[in-house]
Chain A
Amino acid sequence: MVQINFALKEVNCKIVFYGPGMSGKTTNLEIVHQKAPEENKGELTSISTDGDRTLFFDFMPLDLGNVAGMRTKFQLYTVPGQVYYNSTRKLVLQGVDGVIFVADSDAEKLQENIESYENLIENLAEYGKDIRELPHVIQYNKRDHPNAMPVDELDRTLNRFGVPTFEAVAVTGEGVFPTLKVLAGMVLESIDRMDNRRSSASRPAPRAEARAQAAPRAEAPAQSAPAAAPAAGGKRGQAPARPAGSPARRPVAPRGQAGPRPVAQRPSPSRVASSAARRRGGAAHADADQTRGTRTGGGRGVFVAVLSTLFLAAAVAGVVFFVMQNQQG
């Protein structure tokens, strides 16, 4: 939960690195700690086992500095990835403002990635949070692994909500900062957007109008954040894979109806063609229905005509019968 402290003039946000065991969450944090400027970082604290496996969490504060008069700080946490530690993992997620899901690209770890992502969704749900409303990104780590799965395949399996994804080799530092930068941007965007939304709902008309004019300005840079990340590279281990359009501008779509997908995840031309064909087929179907409808209307007319003729014939026959009876009489 974002804490805004107008007395200390501080904004505090909580970002959590989540993912299966040994996927590189702590390594990500260590790299951030190594490479962040001295004046921006605090101490890296780990609560780990003797074997350096995370027991509770790793923690490090990252200070963005003075932002429009407010000192803005990110508290970065990792969770223990091992299945056994779910209760502690869930505790670290309390009040989270953004999640970086660190997936292991190794083909043999695919199932663990899937289970961990499912576990993230479940644990968030226990705090009443919907993952679709929480800023989050996916990092495909260990891209230098000989058994690394193709990114497209990982995307299809893991990226269910079309969030930005990044390729990384955390141990060398590649992809670590681009991932954090985009996620941090999404978190700050959500704070800013929430403020704008509230202002337009609660302020007197003239001021609300002023904020409404400001809103597009607030959204525009959301595009620039991912765009500013290095261009997507097909090279193995290349940093930011696919910033996926504008994460902040992407409307949150219900499950199964994800909003605009990242370019790489949009349907292939053949799929587009086939869906267009389906649409055309649908139209043709409607035409046929309409035609059938018209024909059905015509048949009803013929039926009425035949019935009228029969009625007339019966009437004529009745008259003839009546005349003949009179003549005989």
Chain B
Amino acid sequence: MSDPGKMSANERLRHDRLTFYKEDIERIDRLLAEFLRLSGAKCALLIDKEGHLVTRRGEVRTIDMDTISALVAGSFAATKEMARLLGENEFTALYHQGTRDNIQLSLVGDRTLLTILFDDRTTVGMVRLYANETARKLSEIYGEANSRTTPDPQLDRDYGNSARRKLENLFD
């Protein structure tokens, strides 16, 4: 990672925040839909390492997205520490087995986690096979997004003022 002190404003922004754009998310969504079709999994979530949901596809009606995202990120972070103790950098895939539902996690790039929820309609082997392929394609999309030189879209100019008004309303 380059020295934050020597970055341009745009580089600094990419270092300090994670931004996803509509066209990239549309490509990612298509990729996830194809993955679900091929693997037979129920649901695919893309979550950043800080526990924020990036996008999702599949059956997600009964799941609290915010909480599962935070817990998945926490779970992954904890295993990273275990990996470090074993002399590994980090584990790139995790698997949680339940009686009915299971979760498979795969690291994509260095900032996001592909989270697959599946049941006995498919097998862990099928899920892993297609998850690896999907993770590779997702990395390519990230690479293209990062190498883009066009100026990034920005938040609305009124964002700061509007946020402050909302805070006043929420806390008073």
Contacts and interface: CB of A to CB of B under 8 A. Distances in A.
A3 B166 CA distance: 19
B163 A188 contact: yes
B158 interface: yes
B163 A72 contact: yes
Interface string A32-69: 00001100101101010000000011010100110111
Contacts of A95: 48-50
A211 B159 CA distance: 13
Given A2-B17, A68-B159, A91 B81 contact: yes
B67 A72 contact: no
Interface residues of A, number: 67
Nearest to B11: A198
Contact of B13 (A36, A198, A217): A198
B123 interface: no
Q: Is the interface of B mostly helix, strand, loop or mixed?
A: helix
Given A3-B17, A194-B13, A75 B22 contact: no
B22 A6 contact: yes
Contacts of A205: none
B78 A88 contact: yes
B86 interface: no
A65 B155 contact: no
Interface size class of B (residues with CB under 8 A): 35 or more
Contacts of A217: 160-161
A68 B64 CA distance: 25
A3 B67 contact: no
Contacts of A214: 157
Interface string A202-232: 1100000001001001100100110010000
Interface stretch (A17-25, A115-123, A179-187, A276-284): A179-187
Contacts of A64: 163, 166-167, 170
A60 B168 CA distance: 20
Contacts of A8: 20, 25, 53, 55
Contacts of B157: 211, 214
Interface stretch (B34-42, B69-77, B136-144): B69-77
B81 A87 contact: yes
Interface of B: 4, 8-10, 12-13, 16-22, 24-26, 48-55, 64, 66-67, 70-71, 74, 77-78, 80-81, 151, 153-164, 166-168, 170-171
21 contacts: A2-B17, A3-B48, A3-B54, A4-B17, A5-B55, A6-B19, A6-B22, A7-B24, A42-B64, A43-B66, A59-B74, A68-B155, A68-B163, A70-B155, A91-B77, A94-B49, A181-B167, A181-B171, A198-B13, A199-B154, A200-B9
